[in-house]
Chain A
Amino acid sequence: MTTTLDEIENTETELSSDELVAECKARANIYRLLSGAFLEEPTLDYLNAIRSPTVMASLKEMGVNFGEDFTATPIEKLQDELACEFAVLFVVAGGCPAVESVRLLGRYQQQPCFEIRDIYRKAGFKVSAARFAVFEDQLGVQLAFLAEMLDRAALALATGDEHGYMLITKEIKRFWALHPGKWVRGYATLLARATDYSFYREMAKLLGSFAQWELDLLGVKVDDLDGGKLKVPKAEIEYEYDPKEPVCNTCEKTDGEDDEEALKKIDISLIQARLEGRK
């Protein structure tokens, strides 16, 4: 299912302007928190900030439950371990890069990357490398963009520019509908299962829940195409022929076997199923 612009525009809110400003800022902070987890390896400052009692308490209230591997490990060691886990998850061959092009199209720097670059450009942003060069459609960058947009929305509201606020909100909705909404929720479930570390597991869960909450809040209905499925059900794959069939055994027949008998031995159920499916 895709979202229509009408649906985006008809989202209503009953909060006061001040409450909306506060909410925008709070949401922007969560986006930044998540962006920090997925953009690159966590810095000491970032980890110290999260492990501060205040943040830990507020995260716990949201349901985030870090394990002892996060809370009880010396900070330098933790940073080192999480850097290695970051590499395993997002950088090294065989991992699952947090990049929309890869998630949805199976290769780096495809159409989503260029579409998003264009969206950023129109909004007046360009992506520059932090510690490492990064693709525009990388998860952390998408989240950082949304945080910036929410800051703008808050500023617009605070200065009484309601029209500006509406336009920015519309951009945020559109962005969710066209990009992160298509992959982030499913990807979050995958990450939560893939990682060995409670930090990434909890952050992934938070990401998934927050994404759903945001989509509900914004009134954006968009199917998650990623799905985070472990395996594709066999039934969804159409075979041209049976891949288990040996290369040439179907041509071989024992002495005295006639063609009709040989034909009976060939499994044509897949072909039949395919033909019936077409009917």
Chain B
Amino acid sequence: MFEMNRRTFLKVSGGATAAAIAAPSVLSAMEQDLGGKDFSPETMAERQAIPINCHFCNIQDGAIAFVENGRIVKLEGNPEHVSTRGRLCAKGNSGMWYTYDPDRILYPLKRVGARGEGKWKRITWDEALAEVAQKLDAAIKEDPNSISLKYGRNRSGGVIDRFMNTLGSATVINHTSVCESSKKIGMEPTWGPDIETPDFANTKYILNFGSNIMEAAYFHNPYSQRLVEGTAENQAKLVTFDVRLSNTAGRSDEWIPVFPGTDGAVALALGHVILREDLQDTDFIDTWCNVSTAQLKAHYKQYTPEWASKLSGVPAETIERIAREFALTKPATTYTYRGPAKHLYGSYNEKATMMLSIMTGNVEKRGGYCMPRGMGWPQPQPEPPKPKHGSDMAHPHEYPLAGHKVSHLLPLFIAEGRQKVNVHISYQDNPVYTNPGAQAYWGKLYKDEKLIPYYISMSPFMGEETALADIILPDAPYLERWEPESMPNSLWPWLGIRQPVIKSLGESRENRIMMRDIIWKMDPDGKRGMKKYWNFKDGEDYMRQHFDNIPGLKEAGGLDFLKKHGVWPIYGKLNPRTGKISDKTGREIQAEFGLHEKEVSAADMAGATVDGKGTIHKNGKAIGVRRKGKNYSGFGTGDRLINVRVDKWAEYGFNPMPTFKQIPWHKDMQADEMILTTYKVNIHKQSRSSAVKWLAEIMHSNPVWMNTEKGAELGIKTGDLVRIESSVGHMVTKAYVFEGIHPKVVAIPTAFGHWEYGRLATLKLKEKAAGEFGGQDDADLNNVWWEDKGVHPNAIIPTVVDPIGGSQGWYDTVVKVTKAGPTDKYGDVEGSWEKHLAAAKETMRYAYNGDLHRKMHPEMAAWGGPGSVKKSEGGGH
């Protein structure tokens, strides 16, 4: 008989551990698997897995859609994707709700009531295309540029430009100026690319200026993964300058609250300390920059910590300490996003911050501040030529340096008749909600048939802009369309696709198809010479023309490879132990660094010339730079050097060297005035996610953050109604009072307070008029337990334009905050069209040819004025 008791078990167990480990293991927990497979919990049948690149927002995570019986039932990360490594954020996990949204538009709709009244008639595609073609034809006869197209998120891979070029119109308006254009313009003339790719995982020190990396920054999924690796595994120090305690600031080693718009001053002062104490990388500066270390030292002398402290509120001793830490820790990197850039002089701020990585020689180093890595793809041939005439509305002459346009000045330009618009088209763009002025400004523009006689919205949803359209062409949400992709969201370049996971619902058509169909309607027999540019059978055929002949990918299988894997190349396997991509030997794959130090080949050097600066020229192009006797590819600038001094800026009377300009209206703020800033949260994007059920349940309202000290001073506590007044309007919302925000700042997240976008976003199911029959239409809406949809602040934010980069100054609005009065109601929002117009005109006074430009740049006294500027070719940057 066996002795079966606890004592013997323990004894045997103690002795048998090794044998137990050695015993063969045949069971493994499925939840430990890395993904890529999924099973029906009912039938245990494997679900169909279709790899895509997510396009819920614009991070472009690698994802897999699982389909069961024709339904998209689940989305998760693609473990083969080098950037996101199998992780997908909350937004990406919710993507199928777009497809199945019961408020989705599935058929072409024609307005039958007054604009914005909400009366529609369903029409066939034939009828819709005939009407649209007729309107476009009429507009072309008058002036092709009277057709304007404004896009928000354009990942079509060139289709929109092809469409507008085919029509002959240059009036293509993007959204970049309300996004991050001054960051781009702060960087591009300095080193070429419009963005940096910091190596967070291998760094030792991160100076983060105004970016909520872990939650909402561009590339927050891949970056937050690497940031956690850097801080947790590599013990990197993270220092965040931000006006509020964002989720990134809260997870930083130090959060340093900074007065809005003064990050540039802090960065210059940090540079001052580094150069004063000789902590710079002299060799890097003298080798790769267009100014010497001595010149830089002389220039930075003026930017003392005491000077910056007065402007920013950051103690001078903190600036001194951080400067030494940053310069003495290797490798280190800076990172920025909207915090420094979305101001009147955001380009200067961006330039000042990137200088810290440059002067310390952290550029293109492992653990440092690297250039983005991306891949391109060829366009289907033939391509239409560019329009004959440029559009002054798309590229306003007042902003010659704003290479990413100034889209948010459109209402002013149209209202003042700068360029006639006969037909306006919007694609994935909701300026009536997302732009400064929102409904008060853009809403009025879109509603006015005199200003916009005919408005076509290409949209799957009844957003605030689409509700004002004359005709709606039902676009397909991202899980139902083809698109080429490549995003520099890690240090490994990749190509990818979006492919339809299921057949598009109803009569939705992806935009390349609807644009093709419009052109085919206009030129049915090809005699007008338009049809030949739209020579493809379907979306897949178009993708084949992009992808089937790319060297490397072609050998791997071209589009068929991408259809199977979603991404190319596959760098290695996701290691379940580390969560990182490993090569065949089990080691983590390593990125390539020092891209600027790649040598120009002997073949390329044949016939090349080298100028006095060392720039290597061939066939009229700069192809590299000679340094220390070697021919390097250098940086993406005109002379292949880092342009610390941007001569082009000086041509227009801007300071070519790193500098800072205080926002004039921030100088003399009264004690009761504050700055209103906005921000984005991790589970929402700016406008298009409040109708997504899972996300709306997690977060659906947006009280205004206010500092405890300020709350006590004003007698305001959490939950109180407050009235916020700016120069262009006012709003009434609830307060959230705590210590995690600068005392002179109030902050409101966007994505809430919709008045269109379906029943969930608007909570109209709770209202009598619309809700009584609408509320029951959607079974899920029965579970809506919240009554508060939030309040959207953009109507009280005036237009501000960075005269260099063209960005909207989102964080420059001065407001007065008081306890709400007896007549104030939660959700009140009021803005004035006239005041918004006046604000837009006012901000143009800072343009290079405006009357305030010279006053803002006394250091450029020698500039010859607007008349001295050489006439540029115009017609497109």
Contact = CB atoms under 8 A, between A and B. Distances in A.
Interface of A: 40-41, 80, 83-84, 86-88, 91-97, 99, 101-111, 114, 131-133, 135, 190, 193-194, 226-232, 237, 239, 243-244, 246-249, 252
A111 B69 contact: yes
Nearest to A240: B785
Contact of A228 (B99, B461, B776): B776
Contacts of A114: 69-71
Contact size class for B?
Answer: 35 or more
Contact of A237 (B70, B780, B783): B783
Interface in B112-140: 112, 118-122, 124
Interface string B732-757: 00101010000000000000000001
B102 A107 contact: yes
Nearest to B717: A252
Contact of A94 (B99, B109, B774, B780): B774
A107 B120 contact: no
Interface in B448-474: 461-462
B104 A246 contact: no
Given A106-B102, A135-B506, 11 more contacts: A91-B107, A93-B759, A94-B770, A95-B777, A106-B780, A108-B506, A109-B70, A109-B100, A110-B71, A111-B71, A237-B783
B505 A109 contact: yes
Contacts, number: 152
Given A132-B107, A133-B507, A243-B787, A94 B462 contact: yes
A189 to B, nearest CB: 10
B102 A108 contact: yes
Interface string B523-546: 000000000000000000000000
B718 A96 contact: no
A83 B778 contact: no
Interface in B55-89: 69-71
Given A88-B120, A94-B774, A252-B718, A103 B107 contact: no
A87 B122 contact: yes
Contact of B779 (A84, A105, A244): A105
B780 A230 contact: no
The 7 closest A-B pairs by CB, nearest first: A246-B719, A107-B100, A106-B780, A194-B773, A93-B462, A93-B103, A96-B777
A95 B103 CA distance: 8
Q: Is the interface of A mostly helix, strand, loop or mixed?
A: loop
B774 A95 contact: yes
Contacts of B423: none
Contacts of A96: 773-774, 776-777
7 contacts: A93-B757, A94-B758, A95-B774, A107-B778, A237-B783, A247-B736, A248-B719
B9 interface: no
A95 B780 CA distance: 15
B747 to A, nearest CB: 15
Contacts of B266: none
Nearest to B97: A107
B277 interface: no
A249 B719 contact: yes
B782 interface: yes
A221 B876 CA distance: 70
B777 A97 contact: yes
B782 A232 contact: yes
Contact of B506 (A101, A106, A133): A133
B149 interface: no
Nearest to B760: A106
B414 interface: no
A88 B700 CA distance: 27
B842 interface: no
A206 to B, nearest CB: 18
B188 interface: no
B10 to A, nearest CB: 39
Name the residue among B461, B770, B773 with the largest chain A CB count within 10 angstroms: B773
Interface in B571-611: none
Contacts of A239: 785
B646 interface: no
B104 A93 contact: yes
A32 B55 CA distance: 42
Q: Is the interface of B mostly helix, strand, loop or mixed?
A: loop
A195 to B, nearest CB: 9
A252 B716 CA distance: 13
Nearest to A129: B507
A96 B461 CA distance: 15
Nearest to A118: B69
Contact of B102 (A80, A97, A229): A97
Nearest to B771: A231
B775 interface: yes
A249 B775 CA distance: 31
A87 B123 CA distance: 10
Interface in B497-514: 502, 505-507
Contact of B104 (A40, A103, A108): A108
B341 to A, nearest CB: 30
B772 interface: yes
A83 B113 CA distance: 13
Contacts of B107: 91, 132
Given A243-B787, A247-B736, A92 B462 contact: yes
Nearest to A231: B775
Nearest to B96: A107
Contact of B759 (A84, A94, A193): A94
B858 to A, nearest CB: 47
Contacts of B103: 93-94
Name the residue among A87, A88, A248 with the largest chain B CB count within 10 angstroms: A87
A96 B773 CA distance: 7
Given A92-B462, A230-B772, A243-B786, A106 B778 contact: yes
B101 interface: yes
B471 to A, nearest CB: 13
Contacts of A86: 122
Name the residue among A83, A94, A230 with the largest chain B CB count within 10 angstroms: A94
B703 interface: yes
Given A92-B462, A94-B759, A133-B506, A193 B773 contact: yes
B206 interface: no
Given A104-B779, A106-B779, A190 B773 contact: yes
A229 B106 CA distance: 26
A133 B122 CA distance: 12
A102 B71 contact: no
Nearest to B69: A114
Name the residue among A106, A133, A194, A243 with the largest chain B CB count within 10 angstroms: A106
A84 B775 contact: no
Contacts of B738: 248
Nearest to B105: A93
B718 A248 contact: yes
B459 to A, nearest CB: 10
B105 A102 contact: no
Contacts of A229: 776
A41 B120 contact: no
A241 to B, nearest CB: 9
B764 interface: yes
A237 B776 contact: no
B775 A230 contact: yes
B279 interface: no
A135 B758 CA distance: 21
Contacts of B856: none
A135 B503 CA distance: 12
A228 B781 CA distance: 13
A247 B718 contact: yes
Contacts of A193: 772-773
A88 B505 CA distance: 19
A88 B774 contact: no
B73 to A, nearest CB: 10
A97 B106 CA distance: 11
A247 B733 CA distance: 13
Nearest to B101: A107
Nearest to B113: A84
Nearest to A241: B785
